């Protein structure tokens, strides 16, 4: 069974730029959720994708957008980067409507915005 | 007031001690309750999940949920230095991780 993988591991961008982060789901999982974790805080839910559609969104502006592909991998795109976007971005996969609530997280992408 | 409150610690205990970690919450619609362990610069690792009220045990770990008090706990028996990490409580209304809300995490140090 393959776990959740994310790329890249680290990324440095400047304010105003755009960034794309990638995630591969765990085998057998059809749902991907993205979280932002600021230093010293718990992860905050950004949005979830199920069957290539956004399935719910947290309190994040539209410049945070995503995609899910037929193989259930996913991308997180952030436009017009701000300094406060510096954080660890986590992807988690799960099996929606499978009767359980287990989410498995990837190692994260650490984004630094200068 | 945050939906989920968790004491950030740090909590320092000697090896072999029983550790008690707790969270309170305000949303009575939460049905699924999880505990994650996160080592520095790594993703969270699922330790325990519980549906509704009750207890669940897995090895040295016991999770308790009291929905009437909106209070959840994680107990770690015979703590080891390798248990030193940040412990995150998390909860959600629906399955599949939908809109899961996390606590801020408690940093635990287990001294050899």
Contacts of B46 in chain A (CB under 8 A): 102-105
Interface check A55 vs B, CB under 8 A: yes
Chain B within 8 Å of A62 (Cβ-Cβ)?
no
Q: For A12-69, what is each residue's pLDDT tens digit?
A: 999 999 999 999 998 888 899 999 999 989 999 999 999 899 988 999 999 999 999 9
Bond prior to A74 in cis (omega within 30° of 0):
no
| Residues A101, B95: C-beta atoms closer than 8 Å | yes
Taking only Cα atoms into account, the Rg of chain A, rounded to an integer number of angstroms, comes to 13
Over 60: is that where the pLDDT of B55 sits? yes
Model confidence pLDDT, tens digit, residues B60-85: 999 999 999 999 999 999 999 999 99
The pairing of strands A74-78 and A19-24 is: antiparallel
**A102 near B CB under 8 A:** yes
E strands, A38-81, in order? 44-50, 53-57, 64-68, 74-78
């Amino acid at each position: 069974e393959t776990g959740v993988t994310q790329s890249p591991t680290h990324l440095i961008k400047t304010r105003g730029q755009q960034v794309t982060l990638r995630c591969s789901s765990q085998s057998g999982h059809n749902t991907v959720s993205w979280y932002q974790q600021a230093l010293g805080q718990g992860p905050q839910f950004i949005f979830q994708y199920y069957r290539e559609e956004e399935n719910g969104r947290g309190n994040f502006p539209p410049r945070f957008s995503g995609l899910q592909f037929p193989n259930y991998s996913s991308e997180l795109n952030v436009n017009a980067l701000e300094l406060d976007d510096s954080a660890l971005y986590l992807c988690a996969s799960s099996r929606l409507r499978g009767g359980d609530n287990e989410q498995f997280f990837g190692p994260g992408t650490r984004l630094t915005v200068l | 007031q945050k939906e989920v409150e968790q004491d950030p610690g740090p909590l320092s205990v000697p090896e072999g001690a029983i550790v008690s970690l707790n969270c309170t919450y305000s949303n009575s619609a939460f049905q699924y309750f999880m505990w994650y362990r996160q080592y520095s610069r790594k993703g969270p690792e699922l330790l325990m999940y519980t549906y509704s009220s009750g207890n669940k045990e897995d090895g040295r770990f016991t999770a308790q949920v009291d929905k009437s008090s909106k209070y959840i706990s994680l107990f770690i028996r015979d703590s080891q230095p390798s248990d030193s990490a940040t412990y995150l409580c998390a909860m959600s209304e629906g399955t599949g991780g939908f809109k899961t809300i996390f606590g801020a995490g408690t940093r635990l140090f287990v001294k050899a």
